[in-house]
Structure 1
């Protein structure tokens, strides 16, 4: 879900530039802004007690993030970190709520998107709690491919590295690589020039 950039600029959106690895916000901080990616990629992550990274989501252009915590007024439960050079529009809390009041259709779209994300997360969490590593990866790949029109076998290029897939599913990198090779052998996916096609 994204809001038209012209609308965001009409409520004094600020354009911020980030380099790969920059924190946009940190876990525990108080939400102040609505964020929307113009260009680049952003990951939402947290770290377990042992320091292992858990990636909640990887977002690209026209995606918004942090809006649920902004609406709730509760501290962030994740970090937002740029994965590449990024341009992000941010709108202050008051201006954002003014925008929603003046454009109730945007609020409905946002509510629908948040509901879909919550539903997808619940399904993914059920699969992730499974001990079966292949089930975890298949569910994640199904969710990524679900929004695409072409559902043919091997038609979707997985846009993440093996390390990112591991972090998104709570698996180790070694397990992820081993399972992906087995999935290729079983013709569940195809690897071409190092890229995964599902």
Structure 2
């Protein structure tokens, strides 16, 4: 399990949302916040519950997902340590419109809405930083929608594998390894693919000599070639 004996103000101080805040302000946020230890599979919130704050992943991973009437799950976003979520919804006064679940042992810090409003009243720059974070998330979600609408399934898979690669810095013949942070089924849902199709694409790329698969570790054998394949 993750330790809960943490210096919360010091942790918050390195996050983009809080890094310009003074120690007294960080102390007030930390004092009002609630730290929760979650095990794998624990629900952080569900659709319809009241949203009275936002959340910061201090350790572990959280998935935001929706369920269709038939029970089909669609992963919307995977939240990694150092990132926050539900900020925008907090200001609407409406209940949660998606579900949040811990993907592994996680530490979640919940910052209450009243504490946020108090800090905004004290320093309006806090609101601007929150808006910047919300805008970055919205931009990322729009890109995901565009990818799902305009790219083929295999292009989406390759785009995911190359998402953190700067092609200009990769020499010909250089290999790199991508470690899948969650299960293949979760990533498939994130890419709006079935798990079977996602696995089939990985096998095709492996058979083509572009990647080598070792469970969740995927070694890209030909980064440039994979990029060219993505553009076909």
TM-score by length of 2: 0.72
What residue in structure 2 maps to residue 178 of structure 1?
200
What residue in structure 2 maps to residue 65 of structure 1?
85
What residue in structure 2 maps to residue 162 of structure 1?
184
The size of the alignment, in residue pairs, is 196
What residue in structure 2 maps to residue 118 of structure 1?
138
Q: Which has the larger radius of gyration?
A: 2
Counterparts of 1:13 and 1:105 in 2: how far apart (Å)? 20
Q: What's the offset of the Cα at 1:8?
A: 5.1
Of 120, 144, 149 in structure 2, the residue corresponding to residue 129 of structure 1 is 149
**Structure 1's 115 and 185: CA in aligned 2 closer, same or farther, altered over 3 A?**
farther
User: Greater CA deviation, 98-107 or 73-82?
Assistant: 98-107
What residue in structure 2 maps to residue 75 of structure 1?
95
What residue in structure 1 maps to residue 159 of structure 2?
139
Unmatched runs of 5 consecutive residues or more in structure 2 = 1-15, 221-232
Q: What's the offset of the Cα at 1:91?
A: 1.9
What residue in structure 1 maps to residue 28 of structure 2?
10
Residue 17 of structure 2 contacts residue 133 of structure 2 at CA under 8 Å; is this kept in 1?
Answer: no
User: Greater CA deviation, 188-197 or 91-100?
Assistant: 188-197
**Structure 1's 2 and 127: CA in aligned 2 closer, same or farther, altered over 3 A?**
same
Q: What's the offset of the Cα at 1:53?
A: 1.0
Of 14, 25, 47 in structure 1, the residue corresponding to residue 67 of structure 2 is 47
TM-score by length of 1: 0.83
Q: Deviation string for 1:32-69 (max 9, x for gaps)?
A: 12211222211111112221111111112221111111
What residue in structure 1 maps to residue 49 of structure 2?
29
Q: Secondary structure at the match of 1:24?
A: strand
Unmatched runs of 5 consecutive residues or more in structure 1 = none
Counterparts of 2:79 and 2:40 in 1: how far apart (Å)? 14
**Structure 1's 194 and 36: CA in aligned 2 closer, same or farther, altered over 3 A?**
closer
Root mean square deviation, CA, Å:
2.8
Alignment of 1:90-109 (within 5 A): 90-109=110-129
Q: What's the offset of the Cα at 1:165?
A: 1.2
Q: Secondary structure at the match of 2:176?
A: coil
**Relative contact order higher in (CA < 8 Å, ≥ 6 apart):** 1
Counterparts of 2:123 and 2:205 in 1: how far apart (Å)? 46
